[in-house]
């Protein structure tokens, strides 16, 4: 079970932010070291954010959020060296985890989603430098992907389908460049703004033709194309926030 921020038997240092005689922040100490802190963000008397600290009493290792202020968790984030490395979310507020995110260097690297809220992931996404590279979907609810979408710099370039349900794509549809959409901004794991994806360099215009008595020259270049890859689906499963870790 996850550690709870239990103030019982511990030293509590409370802060009343709005001066209404009710504490809005509680810092919980044990042995002189802060173990966790609780925050009432909307001053309704209920805890909305709980933060847990490492042995040093200052480096956060886990954060729990109640975004809709109903007293139930909506997101848990796990941190290493103060940076988010993994998150679990309840996106429809039914008290069951339906989205799992993995991060590298504060940029999203992988996700699994239970879009149908059926108890297991049905969408798997891979990211490169925080930008979507490949998405896999389980459309027939058999636990395996049967549609793949391939992206370059966040733009959809190809759709693959498994029409005979053998686990391998057998139909490919290339997406025209003018229908691929806009390049995406990298997705961060702490909500901060990341730099936009670099656009591929446009090829230089042809050099003006130069005519002499026997020669004419012109020049131009074509940017290199990026490769794509395929990975296997993850094994996360839906679980309530009260589950073990």
Q: Which long-range contacts (CB under 8 A, 24 or more apart) does 225-228 make?
A: 225/152, 226/152, 226/153, 228/133, 228/134, 228/150, 228/152, 228/158
User: What integer pLDDT is reported at residue 239 of this predicted model?
Assistant: 73
Please state, in angstroms and rounded to a whole number, the distance separating the CA atoms of residues 171 and 173: 7
What's the pLDDT score for residue 224? 33
Structure tokens at 86: 């993994």
3-state class percentages of the chain: helix first, strand second, coil last, to nearest 5: 0, 40, 60
Residues 69, 46 contacting (CB under 8 angstroms): yes
Confidence of residue 148 (pLDDT cuts 50, 70, 90): very high
Buried residues in 32-64 as b, exposed as e (16+ CB within 10 A): eebbbbbbbbeeeeebbbbbbbbeeeeebbbbb
Domain segments of the chain as ranges = 14-73, 83-197+231-238
Q: Which residue has the tokens 């729990």?
A: 64
pLDDT in tens, 40-94: 999 999 999 999 999 999 999 999 999 999 999 999 999 999 899 999 999 999 9
Q: What is the pLDDT of residues 152-196, one digit of tens each?
A: 988 999 999 999 999 899 999 999 988 877 778 899 988 888 766
pLDDT at residue 210, rounded to an integer: 41
**What pLDDT score does 182 carry?**
79
pLDDT at 47: 96
User: What torsion do the CA atoms of 152, 154, 156, 161 make, to the nearest 10 degrees?
Assistant: 80
Beta 123-128 vs 131-137: how paired, if at all?
antiparallel
For residue 245, pLDDT over 80 is answered with: no
pLDDT digits (tens, 9 = 90+) for 192-229: 887 665 555 445 555 554 433 343 333 433 333 333 33
Read off the pLDDT of residues 89-127 as tens digits, 9 standing for 90 and up. Answer: 999 999 999 999 999 988 999 999 999 999 999 999 999
* Global pTM value: 0.76
């Amino acid at each position: 079970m996850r550690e709870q921020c239990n103030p019982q038997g511990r030293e509590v240092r409370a802060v009343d932010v709005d001066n209404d005689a009710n504490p809005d922040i509680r810092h919980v100490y044990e042995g002189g070291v802060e173990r966790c802190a609780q925050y009432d963000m909307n001053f309704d008397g209920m805890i909305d954010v709980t933060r847990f600290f490492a042995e040093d009493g200052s480096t956060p290792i886990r954060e729990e959020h109640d975004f809709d202020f109903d007293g139930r968790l909506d997101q848990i984030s796990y941190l290493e060296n103060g940076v988010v490395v993994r998150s679990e979310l309840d996106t429809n507020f039914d008290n069951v985890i339906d989205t799992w995110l993995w991060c590298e260097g504060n940029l999203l690297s992988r996700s699994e989603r239970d879009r149908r809220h059926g108890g297991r992931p049905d969408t798997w996404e891979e990211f490169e430098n925080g930008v979507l590279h490949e998405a896999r979907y389980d459309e027939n609810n058999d636990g395996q992907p049967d549609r793949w979408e391939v992206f370059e710099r966040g733009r959809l370039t190809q759709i693959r389908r498994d029409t005979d349900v053998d686990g391998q794509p057998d139909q490919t549809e290339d997406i025209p460049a003018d229908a691929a959409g806009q390049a995406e901004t990298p997705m961060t794991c702490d909500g901060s703004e990341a730099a936009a994806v670099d656009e591929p360099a446009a090829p230089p215009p042809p050099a003006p033709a130069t005519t002499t008595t026997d020669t004419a020259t012109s020049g131009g270049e074509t940017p290199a194309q990026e490769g794509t890859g395929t990975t296997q689906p993850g094994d996360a499963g839906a679980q309530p926030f009260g589950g073990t870790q």
